[in-house]
Structure formats: C-alpha cells, structure tokens
Amino acid sequence: MKENDVLYFISSVQGGNGPKTIMKEIVKNSSKNYTIVTLDDNEKLDYEQYEKEFNIGIKLKKKGGFNDIYKLFLLIKRFYFIVKKSKPKVIIADGCKLIFLLVGIINILFFLNFKKTKIKIIFRYGNVYSKARQSVDFKSKLLNFLEKLSHKYTPSLIIFPSFFSRDDFKNEVGISNQKTKVIYNPVDIKLIRKEAREKIDHSFFNENDSRKVFVTVASLTYRKGIDYLIEAFTDVVKSHDIKLAIIGEGDRRSEIQKLINENGLNENVKLFGYQKNPYKFINKSYALIHPALWEGFGIVILEAMACGVPVIATKCPGGPKEIIKNNKTGILVKPKSSESLKIAIIKLIQNQQLRDKFAHYSKKEVGKYNTKKITNKYQIEINKLIKKRTK
C-alpha cells in the first residue's frame, strides 16, 4: 500500500457523536488521503473521500479480567499492523480513553517509535478532563494514569474544542502551551439549513397545535443534565402550556422516561430517540435547551444557531459559554439549577421580541464556525507536522 497522508483513529462513525461529525468535515474538506480506523466492528464506512477503511473492533463472549487484557492485546496487534501497512505521515487519534491508550502503548511499549518512523501524532481531546476522568476504583485510576502518560509523551500536538477544555486539561495532565491548540468545532451551515426544511411526520409537531415546542438534542446520560430540565418543565407547565421534544439515546432512557411519567408530563414531554436528521426538529422548535453539567464544546448549540433558533444553555465547565453571547445570541444559566432553567424558559415564552432578536444574531454569529474556515485550521496544523518530518 502506498504511503497515506493521514490515519484517522476514531471510536465510531455511527449515531450522532461529536468526534464523528468533526472527522467527517475534516476529511470532506481536505485534499489529503485518509485512512479511517474505528473501534466499532461491523461498521460500514461509505464516504468516498476515504482512501482506506479498517474496523478493528473485537467481540468477546466473556468480559472482565483476562478477557479484557486479551482484547486489549488483540486491539494493539491489529492497530500496529494497520499503521505499519498504511504508513501514514500523521495519525489523528480522537474519541475515547481506549484510543489514546492504544496509540500511546504502541508508541512507548511496542517499539513502533513514532519519532524514528517520523509519524506525527495529533490527539484531539473533546471533553472536560477533570469531569470525564474522575477515578472511583483501582482500575479507573490505573487507566487514567496510563492515559496521562500517553497524553504527555505520545502526541506532537493536542487539539481542543474550547479554551476551557484546554486549560482544564493542562492543569490536570501537566503539558506545555507549545503542545496545544484550540480549534472550535466546525458546522456545515448549508447542509443543516437544507435538512432543516424536511417535514416532521409526527403529531407532536402538528402545525395546528398552538403550543410552543422546546427541544433538547443530547445523549441520555448523566452529564447532559436532562433531569434538571424535566424538573424545570414540571414547574413551567403549571402556568404555561408548552411541550418538550428530547432527541437522543443513552443508558438513562428508562430512568428519564420514569421521571416524565412520575411528574405527569406524558402529554408535554416526549422522547424521540436518535434521529439521523435532528435539524428538522430544532428548526420547528421555539428554542433549544442545553442543560449540560459539563461540555467540551456543544456543537448542537451551533446547529441551533444555524437554524436561527435561540438557545438556553448552562454556563457549565466547557464550551457553551464561549459560543453563546449571553442575552445576545441566547441565555446562559447556572448548571444543575432547574430554577434557573425555569426562569429562562418563561423569559423567552413571555418575550417573543427577545426570542426573535436571539434568532437574528445567532444566524449572523454562526458564520465564523463554518466548515471551510475551521477545517482549514486543521489542515494548517497537519501541514506543519508533515513539513517537520523532513527536517
């Protein structure tokens, strides 16, 4: 196989995860040849821009103990041979702890010394490290320690989607400024606005229903703060007849549905699950609510802005407070506060003029995040590293 420019290592290309969106835009807008490697087996990668595709996911009947060690060994072996075969100039590792560990282990322990082979490594870390890497037992403490070593000694560059994410990471891991770069996530404005015009075939979005529909698009996990939003809605619907559409899947779906039932919100709140096109739901909503407890960036905020839909988001650790200009493109509220969410929701309900002002400025502001501008920044960093190989 000929030498490829970039090997992009990502956990999965399925569903609506952020790393997949970033990877797709970078590859789509690049002139480089890309090899894509995923951890998720049985995936079909069908983007024409990919030079080569590999799935290294492994299914074992049993988990835990020796089986986990054996699986890690197989993953290391598979990834090692893919790198040897594809001969990339640059490796971008993005997505999860296991990916950073695999790249680090191969570099440090398995003699595929990237300095000797002149392969340059970029880690893209999209979360808030201090929140995402909280250790609770010996196994997680050990993995976190090994991951820190990988971050310190493997990559030539670590890219973050927000300044908060970078500064938090530096404090936790201990790395220099020269090794880091902040590049905001890109958003395909043209595509979003096109797909946003698609009709929704569901009675919840019936145009004859005068009730305002709010929407949240998020994985149904603890850190997305859906519980606080439902608690806020429980209070708001007592005085305002509104609805909430929740778009997304996750391991807390049954708990969230139970919370909806217990608060008597079945007529006002509905779980729609994962949607391939969430933009049509955002576009038909009165506002998007993003109640996250922490967030590396918050790309759904940009997606709402591209639709001209105002956003209520928490001023949580991470990116939302860097995206939203409070009281100009949206409203920022305290995290973990159903009362703050309630006040912001009622404020928008009662002030259509304010809502329209947010929508107007959002459409103007989102332009600086367009894919061409952002992916060009990635290309600049990749080209810098490729040039360094010849020195």
**What secondary structure does DSSP assign to 329-359, as a single string?**
TEEEE-TT-HHHHHHHHHHHHH-HHHHHHHH
Name which of 124, 207, 111, 136 is nearest 161 in CA terms.
124
Q: Is residue 41 part of a domain?
A: yes
> Residue 184 corresponds to which amino acid?
Y
- Checking if the pLDDT of 117 tops 70, the result is no
End-to-end distance of the chain based on CA atoms, in angstroms?
25
Strand partners, 332: 313
Q: Are residues 174 and 296 in the same domain?
A: no
Question: Dihedral of CA 169/171/172/173: which sign?
Answer: positive
Q: Are residues 269 and 345 in the same domain?
A: yes
Q: Is residue 277 part of a domain?
A: yes
Q: The domain containing residue 210 runs over which residues? A: 189-369
Count of domains observed in the chain: 2
Q: How far is the C-alpha of 58 from the C-alpha of 68, rounded, in Å?
A: 11
CATH number at residue 282: 3.40.50.2000
Q: Are residues 317 and 385 in the same domain?
A: no
Q: Are residues 153 and 219 in the same domain?
A: no
Q: Are residues 209 and 290 in the same domain?
A: yes
Name which of 86, 189, 104 is nearest 152 in CA terms.
104
- Checking if the pLDDT of 127 tops 70, the result is yes
Q: Are residues 13 and 76 in the same domain?
A: yes
Q: How far is the C-alpha of 341 from the C-alpha of 148, rounded, in Å?
A: 36
Tens of pLDDT along 139-160? 778 888 888 888 888 888 999 9
Q: Are residues 215 and 355 in the same domain?
A: yes
Query: What token pair was written down for 228?
Result: 């606080």
Strand order in the sheet with 243-247: 269-273, 243-247, 213-217, 287-290, 311-314, 330-333
Q: Is residue 1 part of a domain?
A: no
**Could you tell me if 181 and 167 are in contact, meaning their C-beta atoms sit under 8 angstroms apart?**
no
Tens of pLDDT along 34-50? 888 887 655 454 444 44
- Range from 5-19, 211-225, 231-245, 362-376 carrying the lowest mean pLDDT: 5-19
Q: Is residue 115 part of a domain?
A: yes
Q: How far is the C-alpha of 179 from the C-alpha of 122, rounded, in Å?
A: 10
pTM above 0.85, yes or no: yes
At 27, the pLDDT band (50, 70, 90 cuts) reads confident
Q: Are residues 127 and 256 in the same domain?
A: no
**Could you tell me if 57 and 38 are in contact, meaning their C-beta atoms sit under 8 angstroms apart?**
yes
Q: Are residues 53 and 147 in the same domain?
A: yes
Tokens 């304010």 identify what position?
354
Of residues 226 and 76, the one with the higher pLDDT is 226
Q: Are residues 365 and 228 in the same domain?
A: yes
Question: Dihedral of CA 306/307/308/313: which sign?
Answer: negative
- Checking if the pLDDT of 133 tops 90, the result is no
- Checking if the pLDDT of 377 tops 70, the result is yes
Q: What ranges make up the beta strands (E) of the chain?
A: 6-10, 34-38, 50-55, 90-94, 120-124, 157-160, 180-182, 213-217, 243-247, 269-273, 287-290, 311-314, 330-333
Q: Are residues 270 and 257 in the same domain?
A: yes
Q: Are residues 376 and 276 in the same domain?
A: no
Q: How far is the C-alpha of 169 from the C-alpha of 172, rounded, in Å?
A: 5
Tens of pLDDT along 180-192? 999 999 999 999 9
At 61, the pLDDT band (50, 70, 90 cuts) reads very low
